[in-house]
Structure 1
Amino acid sequence: MEKAKMSAYQLFTLIILFEIGTVAFFPIALDAKQDAWLATLIAMAGGFCLFFIYYGLYRYYPDLPLTEYVQRVLGSVLGKILAFCYVLYFVYTAADRLRAFGELLVTVAYPATPLFIINTLFILVVVYMVYKGIEVVSRTSEVLFVGMCLLLLSGFLLMIISGNIHIENVKPVLEKGLSPVSNTAFTETLYFPFGQMILFAMIFPYVKEREKVKRTGLWAMGMSGFLVALIAAIDISVLGVDLTSHAQYPLLASIQSIEVAGFLERLDIYFILFVMIGSFLKLSIYIYAAVMGASHLFQVEQPSSLAYPMGIVVLLGSMAIASNYTEYVQEWEVVVAPYIDRSFQVIIPVLLLIIAFFKNRKKAI
């Protein structure tokens, strides 16, 4: 591991920015229609269960990241294969998020700029921070967290002042019962964004206040879940269910509807800043986890030397992941969410925890 430490507060800011970082790319839980906010809260409860699985593994191996303790749990050969699969998963997801970010900027702000140029400029900044190490990433999150809070608070106040929020759009609650809401929560929203907390299995060992990891993680997940549910509720209350379902970026459409005193309008910059801050931190953590995992596997003495090569792999992957935006979204909905995310976020960690439990019980005996 890198010889670095972070505080519990820095972990708190990292988790929140990571969780809400890319919710603007995809409408959250819209299969539940006007109950999307409720489906998000139910998924958050499931996310707490996943967090306890990841935290349970951390308790057994507090000094090791995920890619190292899988080798303790499964043995050298199987453990290295699974660790390599997790590195590939982190790289793939980072490329996926970079592609989403680039497509968004091309669509919203820079239609004449090639996607490759936008992705290249963004990944250069991300990789530079990863090269500097987890302490720089965590300190940066403290600063960006303040900026994100100001954005969210001022944007919410402007939304209220403009009079665009119509509570009747989120009614009736549970019109078709609890079944479609819970189905949406546990088949979609649980994995994005809450299941992505598996990434912090690579980060927990760096927290110097170990006794605060559980409390900090639960508070951060609770707050981020509340914010995601609030964003979903605002989108639906402003746009209505139908328009929210058909909008490519519902949060952007909601922000564009703000008009105060006849002159304060077209606040697209709020949306762009929100996306840039969240994507920057999220990509940084994914690439950092991939770099550290690869350095463990291949016994690289200076993990930072892998930062730029890993950035190139992510950049090329973001361009090759799909030929267009429609294909990208379909691939995510049909392949990534139901199979890849479910395996790496739920099935494998549960099996690892069961095996770790029996192994450590034998040692105790």
Structure 2
Amino acid sequence: MEKIKINASQMFVLVVLFEMGSSILVGLGTGAKQDAWISILLGLGAGLLVFLVYYRLYLYYPDLPLTNYIQKIIGKWLGRMIGVLYIIYFCYVASRVLRDFGELLSTTVYTDTPLFIINSLMMLTIIYGIHKGIEVIARVGQLYFGIIYIMAIVGFSLIIFSGLIHMDYLKPILENGWKPVINTFLGQTITFPFGEMIVFTMFLPYIREPKKIKLVCLGGMILSGINIAITTVINIATIGTELFTRSNFPLLTTVGKIQLANFIERLDVLFMLYLVIGGFFKISLFTYAAVTGAADLFKFSSHRKLSYPIGLLILFASVIIASSYAEHITEGIVIVPIYLHWPFQIIIPITLLLIAFFRNRKKKSYTTTN
């Protein structure tokens, strides 16, 4: 583990930026249509419970990252195998998020620029940040946090003053009952973005104030969850349910409709800057988790030696994981949550917690009897 430590406020900022990252970009909860915001809030509630599993594991092994304490819980060889799978998982999710933002830029602004070039520029910046360390990334997050919130407040104010909000688009609530909401919650919003807090199991030992971890992470999740739900409500109330479910990037569609006083318009480029910033931090943290996990498992003295090869692996994976953006989205909605997110975010951590609980209880009973 690195000797560098980050404080609680920096961790709070990283949690918020990470959670809001690509979840603001794509249409989250579209399967529930106008009730998408309900499925997001349900996902937030369940995500908080899932994080408590991660937090409890951290309390058992406060000085170790996930890839290390897995070996303590289930044994060296099996633990290493699962640790390698987690590294692959972090790389894969990082490549998916990188593809999201590459597609955003290549289909809106840089229409004549190849996807690989756009992704390369983003990845090189991320590799540089990882090379400098988690403390530098956290400080950059603090710098951008206020800027992002100012931009968000200004944007939402302009949407309201432009008279674009139609609350009738949110009705009828629960038109098709709870089934679509629950299906969307179980198939999407519990794992994306809230279950992705699994990546922070690699960063919790870095915090300088361990007693504040629970409050900081849960607070960051709640704030980002409320922000995502509000954004979804505004998207639906502005562009309607049909366009919300069909649009690749609903927020950009919403912002593109701003027109105030005949001269304030075409602000979608400004908000793309906000989305790219969020994407940078999400990809950075997933990549950093993969790099530090690999350094831990394979006993590298410094994670810096692995930042370039793993970064390049993620870059190439982002281009080849899907032949088109439609295929990429289909994989992300249908395949990834069930076969990747649920096992790595929920099933494996709960199993590890149960094993750790019984192991530690046996140790306590043994020490008390002796």
Note if 1:113 corresponds to 2:80.
no
- Contact 1:46–1:186 (8 Å) recurs in 2: no
What's the offset of the Cα at 1:175?
A: 2.4
- Separation in 2, partners of 1:59, 1:344: 20
Aligned to 2:368: none
Q: What letter matches 1:202 in structure 2?
A: M
The 1-side partners of 2:330 and 2:272 are apart by 24
Contact in 2 for aligned 1:155/1:270 (Cα 8 Å): no
> Cα offset for 1:49?
0.8
Shift of 1:180: 2.5
Identical residues among aligned pairs (%): 45
TM-score by length of 1: 0.98
SS in structure 1 of the partner of residue 64 of structure 2: coil
1:224 — aligned with what? 224
Per the TM alignment, residue 29 of structure 1 is displaced from its structure 2 partner at its CA by: 0.7
Give secondary structure in 2 for the equivalent of 1:192.
coil
Please state how far the C-alpha of 1:292 moved relative to its aligned partner.
0.3
Superposition map of 1:1-365 within 5 A: 1-365=1-365
**Partners of 2:87 and 2:239 in 1: CA distance:** 39
CA 1:330–1:183 in 2, change beyond 3 Å: closer, same or farther?
closer
Structure 2 Cα separation of the partners of residues 188 and 334 of structure 1: 9
Confirm or deny: 8 A CA contact 1:13 1:142 kept in the other structure. yes
CA distance in 2, matches of 1:326, 1:35: 23
Structure 1 residue 319 displacement after superposition: 1.4
- Consecutive unaligned residues of structure 2, counting only runs of 5 or more, are 366-370
Distance, in Å, in 2 between the alignment partners of 1:186 and 1:324 is: 26
2:34–2:170 Cα contact (<8 Å) kept? yes
TM superposition shift of 1:338: 1.6
Matching residue's letter, 1:310: I
Residue 337 of structure 1: how far off its partner (Å): 1.6
Maintained 8 Å contact 1:39/1:181 = yes
TM-score w.r.t. structure 2 length?
A: 0.97
Measured against aligned partners, the alpha-carbon deviations of 1:233-278 in whole angstroms (never above 9, x if no partner) come to 0110001101111112111110001011011001112331121111
Q: How far off is 1:327 after superposition?
A: 1.6
> How many Å separate the matches in 2 of 1:274 and 1:324?
24
**Alpha-carbon deviation of 1:183?**
2.5
Give the deviation of 1:58 after TM superposition: 0.6
Asked if the contact 2:24–2:228 (Cα under 8 Å) also holds between the matched residues in 1, the reply is: no
Question: Displacement, 1:362?
Answer: 1.0
Q: How many residues in Structure 1 have an aligned counterpart in Structure 2?
A: 365
What RMSD, in angstroms, separates the aligned Cα atoms of the two structures? 1.0
